């Protein structure tokens, strides 16, 4: 049709060009033919303008092969340098830029071509299109260009050009920022003098009439500030920092250790103060505009600007933690100004829905913000009936009729302060300086806006100040005692009682004012910090107030769980209850110094009980926690509702059951051996073997529990970073305790142990060691070396193990957990070295007793660490997962799956994944599935299926299948054929690989070797996972049962 263009209608030409572009993606030869036709259309004097534009836009679709792309670029370049009109040249430049951005080879040539059209001799539309093209090419920080300094210098001249339009300068700023933010500084090749020139040129736009230009100027100045710091500290980098309130990926060329140790110069201070002042001035200006604004649409737009400025300030703090105190001081001044505006405009400002403005936006979601209902099997509107602000909140602020815009600004400002603390408290030495700044801010709120003392944001701020003060005090005390550790056992001190008292004071204020929504959010915070007394108090109040509501069972479940964890804490510190109850009965005024809670910790928490006598109590606690799970299960309309919550609670209950068994073993053998001279070597060996076998079973269960936590994390790709860290730490602690339980009484290297114990077939010391080694920080060479000496396993064998979560070491609790790990490994290593000299059964008995004492000490230290709920626990939504549909490949079996005895089962598979693409940033590259069945477990009643989501059995089965699936992927993932496990399991497995499609479905086939199965009905269990573009693996929960097949 294209050669007959003159006689065709315009829509027919466009349709032909569209079809040609689609075919060009499939055929190289057709691409060359189409290119020739398109070039002819573009330069033909008889072609209409619309036809030429349509032909030029088709150029970018000719990308099936690199050779085609090169040819298209050559032809397009000739056309641009020819006699075409500027409007067509500009469109060709953009089409060529789209092509060149996909090729490393052509990237530099295209940039050089674009720069040649930025001179004054080019028309303004042409220069504008050139800048748009450069923005497109650099949109993903793609930097294949070696001569970045040329681009930088050219754009710098445009920014300085007063005759250049403002809109075009905005494009230039965006490109410059991309260059400044490039990951590898060696690519930039920008000298300091050019940075200084850019800074001077940028400052002129801080007072520009365009807010967008002001914001771009602030971003550029901030990046220049980081670049100068990078020059002064070239060996240091800033890593990615995330805050729960403001999601921001930090400056990609600067790490946490940076700027906390950077000595500020006067120039640094001047630049910092200038940037902070400019940001706060913009915020105050926006606040005044918003206070007088009447349009809801305009209010929403201005609020986004307000949040963007705070995100920019948080970016500064994330890259330069030393700026946190200065930023909070500025925020204190801002709070005074907002309080003044609020006082003068409160009655006349535009009303907005505070639920949407202060909770909904992702970038400003506060820590521990809210239960997040999602559309699906749980009705969001029903969830909101009892847990959203419409019912739980105080009517003072959150009525839709009187919630002021300035109120939202003040809440937003408090959220920034909390985010600032959450981001910086992990940095060494920052807690002490932050304490004074946050204290000043809280005093400012109390004096100027006391009504906001009844908000969750203020509660969070008070707790930030108190925890910073407490941490600083503990560090100072440890330094005085000669402890040089950077993070010296913050959570091993009984400082939690002071945190509980502070939280309890604030929670009483919130419940007294019936601010149930704020109190509920505060209780969520307490759950994340392990403050179970305050959490129990609030959940009891909320549960009583909303017992008859639609989601009263949710509060009841939380109350049962929190009460159980409180009782666990009081097992270690029974005398703390009198202090907490006494505080509960004390009246508190909001204007008191809420966070300076002084208490004699040593006397308050003295007289703790020994763990060996706590078996019955822990059993009762476990039953209460299981009851919390039963409450959720009985109120869920399907097995898939509250799945994360029920799975997490069941894992906690499993840990407590194992803990009870370990304590029972320790209690039975806790007394020191008496009359050891009369012990015969055989009786010593029998006692050793009994203890070893019992603890080995516990070690194996703990190892399985660690893998279950791994699977829990891998099965929820929408989990936030903090929740993942919490789950990873729990997995690490289970793996550590499994290691300690197995090796504390291991007598395999004791010469006196002549009668070896027969261990469970699934258990091996190597696998326990491998699991722990996989989770350890490889940079800690000392502890890694000690681990490798426990068993003579090669480094390759230790590294080539199953997938496990790696605990993030940024938090204080994680550092304390790692300190316990190092203590345990070092202690066991010394005990193992001492046991090498044991030659008699009597000495072996002493070695056994010493190992059990050591295990008891490690166990107590582990229990002193607070147990915390992950944030994701309060995110109530349908889980991510997949449905697998199985069909018999034999066309004769349309409605059933059957196979003759002695033959393999051929299956056609359809995998459909649910909610993965909508709720996560995962970009799936491949999907894998494992199918498993066993001849030893036939169905007694045809068609009977087990509940796929039965918690205790299914999660254990899922963990086993997930481990096998990961092993298959690591081995190359090429094998589809069926595979028989060793004889003791008789498990038959098969694997399938799926190519992801945009429709959310994938198809494959497999062979399941059931040739040895006797006649009967069998069910197929299955597990799926996906691998993203970066090679990360995520499990997909099975959302339907496996198919049933018959062997005839």
In tens, the pLDDT along 967-1018 reads 888 887 655 555 565 444 578 999 999 988 777 888 999 999 999 899 999 9
In the predicted model, what is the mean pLDDT of the chain? 77
Question: Is 367 or 279 the better-scoring residue by pLDDT?
Answer: 279
Q: Which band of pLDDT confidence, cut at 50, 70 and 90, is reported for residue 379?
A: very low
Give the pLDDT confidence score for residue 654 in this predicted structure. Answer: 94
> What is the length of the chain?
1048
**Digit-coded pLDDT (tens) for 566-606:** 999 998 888 888 888 888 888 766 555 555 555 455 445 55
Give the pLDDT confidence score for residue 352 in this predicted structure. Answer: 34
**Digit-coded pLDDT (tens) for 433-442:** 677 888 889 8
Give the pLDDT confidence score for residue 1001 in this predicted structure. Answer: 86
Torsion region of 901: left, alpha or beta (phi above 0 gives left; psi -120 to 50 gives alpha): beta
Q: What residues does 928 pair with on adjacent strands?
A: 993, 1025
Sheet holding 1044-1047, edge to edge: 898-899, 1044-1047, 1016-1019
Average pLDDT (855-870) is 91
Average pLDDT (1020-1030) is 89
Most confident of 106-120, 175-189, 490-504, 524-538: 524-538
Query: Is residue 555 within 8 Å of residue 539, measured between CB atoms?
Result: yes
Q: Which band of pLDDT confidence, cut at 50, 70 and 90, is reported for residue 478?
A: low
**Digit-coded pLDDT (tens) for 603-629:** 455 545 567 678 889 999 999 999 999
Give the pLDDT confidence score for residue 697 in this predicted structure. Answer: 92
Q: Which band of pLDDT confidence, cut at 50, 70 and 90, is reported for residue 6?
A: low
Q: Which band of pLDDT confidence, cut at 50, 70 and 90, is reported for residue 954?
A: low
The single residue listed with the structure tokens 């996906």 is 1026
Question: Which residues lie closer than 8 Å to 434 by C-beta, 6 or more apart?
Answer: 324, 325, 328, 420, 421, 424, 425, 464, 468
Q: Which of 124-133, 247-256, 319-328, 1026-1035 has the lowest mean pLDDT?
A: 247-256
Give the pLDDT confidence score for residue 944 in this predicted structure. Answer: 42
Q: Which of 9-13, 706-710, 753-757, 858-862 has the lowest mean pLDDT?
A: 753-757
Integer angstrom CA distances of residue 670 from 440, 792, 854? 53, 31, 11
Sheet holding 1033-1038, edge to edge: 979-980, 988-994, 924-933, 1021-1028, 1033-1038, 881-888, 905-914, 1001-1008
Give the pLDDT confidence score for residue 802 in this predicted structure. Answer: 47
Q: Which band of pLDDT confidence, cut at 50, 70 and 90, is reported for residue 794?
A: very low
Domain 880-1047 grouped into CATH 2.60.40: yes
**Digit-coded pLDDT (tens) for 263-278:** 445 666 788 888 888 8
Give the pLDDT confidence score for residue 426 in this predicted structure. Answer: 62
Closest CA to 816 of 432, 383, 471, 302: 471
Give the pLDDT confidence score for residue 357 in this predicted structure. Answer: 33
Give the pLDDT confidence score for residue 732 in this predicted structure. Answer: 95
DSSP β-ladder status, 898-899 and 1044-1047: parallel
Integer angstrom CA distances of residue 238 from 155, 194, 216, 938? 27, 23, 21, 57
Query: Is residue 316 within 8 Å of residue 275, measured between CB atoms?
Result: yes
The pTM for the full model equals: 0.81
Percentage of residues in the chain having pLDDT higher than 70: 75
- In a 3-state reduction of DSSP, which class is residue 909? strand
Q: Which of 376-385, 485-494, 499-508 has the lowest mean pLDDT?
A: 376-385
Q: Which of 303-307, 475-479, 716-720 has the lowest mean pLDDT?
A: 475-479
Give the pLDDT confidence score for residue 141 in this predicted structure. Answer: 53
**Digit-coded pLDDT (tens) for 170-208:** 888 888 888 887 655 555 567 778 888 888 888 888 888
Query: Is residue 931 within 8 Å of residue 1020, measured between CB atoms?
Result: yes
CA angle 687, 691, 693 (to 5 degrees): 115
Question: Which residues lie closer than 8 Å to 270 by C-beta, 6 or more apart?
Answer: none
Average pLDDT (318-325) is 84
**What is 249-280 written as a DSSP string?**
PPPTTB-THHHHHPPPPHHHHHHHHHHHHHHH
Average pLDDT (491-512) is 84
Give the pLDDT confidence score for residue 356 in this predicted structure. Answer: 34
Give the pLDDT confidence score for residue 941 in this predicted structure. Answer: 43
470 pLDDT higher than 90: no
């Amino acid at each position: 049709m294209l050669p007959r263009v003159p006689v065709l209608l315009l829509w027919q030409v466009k349709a032909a060009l569209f079809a040609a572009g689609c075919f060009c993606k499939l055929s190289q030869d057709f691409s060359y033919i189409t290119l020739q036709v398109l070039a002819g259309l573009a330069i033909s004097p008889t072609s209409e303008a619309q036809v030429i534009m349509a032909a030029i836009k088709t150029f970018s679709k000719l990308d099936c092969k690199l050779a085609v792309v090169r040819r298209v670029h050559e032809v397009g370049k000739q056309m641009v340098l020819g006699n075409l009109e500027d409007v067509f040249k500009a469109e060709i430049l953009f089409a060529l830029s789209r092509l060149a951005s996909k090729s490393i080879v052509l990237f530099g040539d295209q940039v050089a071509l674009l720069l040649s059209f930025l001179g004054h001799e080019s028309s303004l539309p042409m220069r504008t299109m050139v800048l748009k093209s450069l923005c497109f090419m650099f949109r993903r920080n793609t930097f294949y260009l070696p001569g970045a300094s040329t681009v930088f210098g050219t754009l710098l001249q445009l920014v300085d050009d007063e005759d250049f339009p403002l809109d075009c300068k905005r494009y230039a700023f965006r490109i410059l920022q991309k260059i400044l933010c490039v990951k590898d500084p060696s690519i930039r090749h920008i000298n300091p003098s050019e940075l200084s020139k850019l800074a001077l040129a940028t400052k002129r736009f801080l007072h520009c009439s365009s807010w967008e230009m002001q914001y771009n100027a602030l971003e550029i100045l901030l990046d220049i500030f980081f670049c100068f710091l990078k020059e002064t500290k070239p060996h240091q980098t800033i890593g990615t920092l995330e805050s729960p309130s403001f999601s921001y990926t930090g400056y990609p060329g600067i790490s946490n250790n940076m700027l906390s140790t950077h000595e500020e110069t006067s120039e640094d201070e001047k630049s910092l103060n200038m940037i902070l002042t400019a940001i706060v001035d913009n915020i105050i200006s926006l606040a005044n505009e918003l206070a007088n604004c009447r349009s809801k649409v305009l209010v929403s737009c201005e609020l986004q600007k307000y949040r963007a400025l705070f995100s920019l300030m948080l970016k500064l703090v994330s890259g330069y933690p030393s700026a946190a105190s200065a930023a909070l001081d500025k925020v204190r001044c801002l709070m005074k100004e907002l309080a003044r505006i609020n006082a003068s405009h409160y009655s006349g400002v535009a009303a907005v829905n505070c639920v949407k403005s202060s909770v909904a936006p992702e970038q400003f979601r506060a820590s521990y913000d809210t239960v997040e209902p999602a559309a699906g099997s749980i009705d969001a509107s029903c969830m909101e009936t009892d847990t959203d602000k419409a019912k739980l909140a105080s009517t003072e602020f959150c009525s839709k009729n009187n919630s002021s815009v300035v109120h939202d600004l003040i809440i937003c400002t408090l959220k920034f302060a909390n985010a600032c603390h959450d981001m910086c408290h992990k940095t060494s030495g920052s807690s002490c300086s932050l304490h004074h700044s946050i204290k000043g801010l809280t005093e400012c709120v109390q004096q100027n806006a006391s009504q906001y003392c009844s908000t969750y944001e203020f509660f969070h701020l008070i707790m930030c100040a108190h925890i910073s003060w407490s941490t600083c005090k503990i560090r100072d005390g440890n330094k005085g005692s000669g402890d040089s550790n950077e993070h010296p056992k913050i959570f091993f001190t009984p400082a939690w009682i002071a945190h509980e008292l502070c939280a309890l004071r604030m929670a009483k204020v919130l419940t007294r004012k019936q601010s149930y929504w704020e109190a509920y959010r505060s209780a969520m915070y307490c759950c994340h910090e392990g403050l179970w007394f305050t959490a129990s108090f609030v959940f009891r109040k909320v549960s009583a107030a909303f017992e008859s509501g639609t989601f009263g069972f949710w509060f009841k479940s939380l109350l049962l769980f929190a009460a159980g964890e409180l009782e666990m804490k009081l097992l270690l510190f029974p005398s703390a209850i009198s202090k907490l109850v006494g505080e509960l009965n004390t009246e508190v005024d909001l204007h008191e110094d809420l966070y300076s809670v002084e208490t004699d910790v040593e006397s308050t928490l003295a007289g703790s009980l020994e763990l060996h006598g706590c078996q019955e109590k822990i059993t009762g606690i476990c039953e209460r926690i299981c009851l919390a799970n039963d409450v959720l299960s009985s109120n869920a309309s399907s097995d898939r509702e509250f799945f994360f919550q029920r799975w997490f609670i069941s894992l906690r209950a499993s840990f407590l059951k194992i803990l009870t068994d370990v304590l029972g073993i320790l209690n039975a053998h806790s007394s020191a051996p008496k009359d050891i001279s009369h012990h015969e070597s055989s009786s010593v060996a029998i006692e050793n073997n009994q203890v070893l076998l019992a603890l080995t079973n516990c070690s194996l269960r703990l190892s399985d529990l660690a893998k279950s936590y791994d699977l829990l994390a891998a099965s929820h790709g929408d989990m936030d970073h903090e929740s993942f860290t919490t789950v990873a730490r729990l997995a690490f602690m289970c793996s550590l305790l499994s290691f300690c339980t197995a090796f504390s009484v291991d007598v395999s290297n004791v010469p006196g142990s002549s009668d070896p114990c027969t261990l469970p077939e699934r258990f091996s010391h190597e696998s326990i060691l491998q699991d722990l080694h996989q989770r350890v920080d490889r940079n800690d060479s000392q502890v890694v070396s000690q681990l490798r000496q426990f068993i003579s396993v090669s480094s390759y064998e230790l590294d080539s193990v199953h997938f496990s979560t790696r605990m993030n070491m940024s938090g204080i609790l994680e550092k304390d957990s790692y300190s316990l790990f190092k203590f345990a490994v070092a202690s066991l290593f010394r005990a193992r070295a001492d046991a090498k000299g044991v030659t008699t059964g009597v000495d072996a008995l002493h070695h056994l007793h010493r190992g059990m004492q050591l295990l008891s000490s490690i166990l107590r230290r582990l229990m002193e660490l607070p147990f915390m709920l992950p944030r994701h626990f309060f995110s109530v939504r349908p889980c991510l997962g997949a449905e697998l549909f199985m069909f018999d490949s034999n066309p004769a079996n349309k409605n059933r799956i059957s196979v003759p005895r002695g033959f393999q089962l051929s299956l056609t598979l359809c995998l459909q994944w649910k909610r993965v693409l909508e709720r996560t940033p995962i970009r799936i590259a491949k999907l894998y599935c494992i199918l498993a069945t066993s001849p030893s477990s036939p169905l007694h009643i045809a068609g009977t299926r087990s509940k796929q989501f039965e918690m205790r059995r299914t999660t254990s089965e899922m963990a086993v299948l997930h481990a096998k699936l990961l092993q298959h992927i690591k081995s190359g993932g090429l094998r589809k054929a069926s595979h028989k496990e060793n004889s003791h399991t008789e498990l038959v497995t098969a694997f399938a690989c799926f190519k992801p499609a945009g429709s959310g479905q994938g198809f494959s086939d497999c062979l399941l070797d059931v040739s040895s199965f006797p006649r009967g009905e069998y069910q197929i269990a299955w597990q799926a996972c996906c691998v993203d573009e970066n090679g990360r693996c995520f499990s997909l929960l099975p959302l339907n049962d496996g198919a049933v097949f018959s062997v005839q």
